[in-house]
Amino acid sequence: MLRLGSLGRANGSNAFGGGPVGFGWRRSAVVVGGDANGLGVARSLGRAGVPVILVEDDPSLPAVHSRYVRPAIVDGLSGLALVDGLLALRAQLTENPMLFLTYDYHVFTVSKYWDRLKGAFVMRLPEHRTVAALLHKAEFQGIAERHGFPVPRAVTVRGKTDLQQLDRLRYPAVIKPGSKDFFFNHQAPRACRVSSRKEAEATCLDILPQVPDLIVQEWIEGDDRDIYFCLQYRGKGGATISSFTGRKLRSWPPQTGNTLSCTAAPEATPQLQSLTTAFFDTVGFVGLCSLEFKRDRASGEFVMVEPTVGRTDWQEEIATVCGVNIPLAAYCHELGLPLPTEEPPDVPVIWRAPSCYWRSVAITRRLDPVPHGAKVVRAAWQADDPMLLAFYCRHWLNRLGRRLMRRAAPRRTGEEHSIPESMMCAEPVASAEQDSSLACSASRQGSAHDNQYR
């Protein structure tokens, strides 16, 4: 089932040369996912005059009400529900739209069923086996090691017989499921920081009944401000069409979660852009991609943490507000239009995601340093899209009400969640020194798309 909503208030006929979205003189862009990521992509395209259709399965999300989108409500955002919804949407448009994805499970679905979709949408992806390999943490680790790229030492644990490999690591370490799907399906925590070999084994044994494999990596010393990223769009033949390097200022949960605030990192651009380009050249990746890095406080060296492939990154909008509009560059490149010019801002820019930012500030008891004259851009509210703030507030209040009701209800054994109780993250810790206890976070990051509303 597909429900195509009405045109956003900013997207009148003057914006698109006459006619409704998708039928004007420009092709539509279809953005799948209505969280802060998808909203940032929609604004990056919509402000440039591109008609944007936002595909979601939850019509209550704030992004659905942005003035820059026309919502299309489908039955699901993965598997055949997403494929069928996209094809139903394409049947209502006159030309193949450009497709943008915002979550790994969108990417896996579209890549798997690309034979059905490639005649209906414009999108650049490599072959499915490349996509699947880079979506899996252990496979990425193996590729990076084989080709000599800097990554933390790690082992893969698939069962009890693999636990002896834990002796090869230095501690502390971090344990993650091989695929994020198990986190989104509430079968495993996103990441657990462990301080010893004994704790690592116990944690692996707790999680393994829920997942087929785990990756255990040595912990790289540093805080959120030591985490960097390089966002790219790679066109035909792997040519770098657009690239931006930034660094995080704050994450939730600390050091293992999504970006809450970030900024540009021009000082790291030469090194990280070179590493990112070299890695994706090696694996033959094309399309939207990025690499996350962490700078080791002890050595000062950068190591690769994980890639993002086939989709925009959570903090993609920071590139746009810093003058590098990667979604628009991708759109123009694939449709044969002139590429947008890059216009760096006159002052430093900081991008912040909503809600959890202040929760993190309360727990860590520190504010991010804001350089004099810097501009703070907030995902939840921007001057040209003001109504979103009201929808964000409503969404937060609804979630708070549901959470309070769950806490007040009698706990029924075995019905609360599928994650072992020992893996559940404690609620607010007393000090920044205890942040590591938040690294083992099993709190839902959204029905895969509402983590930014917590």
Are the C-beta atoms of 85 and 2 separated by less than 8 Å?
yes
Q: Give CA 452 to chain center in angstroms.
A: 10
- Separation of alpha carbons 322 and 339, rounded Å: 16
Structural Rg of the chain based on CA atoms:
21
- Provide the pLDDT for residue 4: 81
- Separation of alpha carbons 336 and 328, rounded Å: 12
- Provide the pLDDT for residue 2: 83
Q: Which amino acid is at 272?
A: L
User: In tens digits, what is the pLDDT along the chain, a chain of 454 residues?
Assistant: 788 876 554 443 333 333 333 333 479 999 999 999 999 999 999 999 999 999 999 998 888 989 999 999 999 999 999 999 999 999 999 999 999 999 999 999 999 999 999 999 999 999 999 999 999 999 999 999 999 999 999 999 999 999 999 999 999 999 999 998 898 888 899 999 999 999 999 999 999 999 999 999 999 999 999 999 999 999 999 999 999 999 999 988 888 888 999 999 999 999 999 999 999 999 999 999 999 999 999 899 999 999 999 999 999 999 999 999 999 999 999 999 999 999 999 999 999 987 677 778 878 778 888 888 899 999 888 889 887 877 777 777 777 788 788 788 765 444 433 433 333 332 223 333 333 333 444 333 333 333 333 2
**CATH (one of 3.40.47.10, 3.40.50.20, 3.10.105.10, 3.40.640.10) for 3-123:** 3.40.50.20
Residue linked to tokens 């899996």: 136
CATH topology of domain 224-388: D-amino Acid Aminotransferase; Chain A, domain 1 (3.30.470)
Q: What is the DSSP code string of 161-223?
A: GGGGGGGGS-SSEEEEESSTHHHHTTSS-S-EEESSHHHHHHHHHHHGGG-S-EEEEEPPP--
The two three-digit tokens of residue 62, written as one number: 């704030």
Residue 98: strand, helix, or coil: strand
Residue linked to tokens 């230095």: 170
Outline which parts of the chain fall under CATH 3.30.470.20.
224-388
332 sits in which H/E element? helix 326-335
Query: What are the backbone angles phi and psi of residue 324, rounded to the nearest 5°?
Result: -120, 95
Q: Which CATH architecture has domain 153-218?
A: 2-Layer Sandwich (3.30)
The two three-digit tokens of residue 188, written as one number: 């495993």
**341 Cβ contact list (under 8 Å, min separation 6):** none
Outline which parts of the chain fall under CATH 3.30.1490.20.
153-218
Outline which parts of the chain fall under CATH 3.40.50.20.
3-123
- Separation of alpha carbons 136 and 132, rounded Å: 7
- Separation of alpha carbons 227 and 221, rounded Å: 11
CB-neighbour burial class of residue 381 (10 A; exposed 0-12, middle 13-18, buried 19+) = middle
Under DSSP, the state recorded for 120 is: T
- Separation of alpha carbons 189 and 439, rounded Å: 9
Say if pTM beats, i.e. exceeds, 0.95.
no
Are the C-beta atoms of 371 and 344 separated by less than 8 Å?
no
Residue 57: strand, helix, or coil: coil
The two three-digit tokens of residue 375, written as one number: 């501009």
Query: Is the N-terminal amide bond of 172 cis, ω within 30° of 0?
Result: yes
- Give the CA dihedral 268, 270, 273, 278, nearest 10 degrees: -130
Q: How far is CA 388 from CA 31, 205, 380, 393, in A?
A: 18, 44, 7, 9
Are the C-beta atoms of 131 and 108 separated by less than 8 Å?
yes
Determine the longest span between alpha carbons in the chain, in angstroms: 66
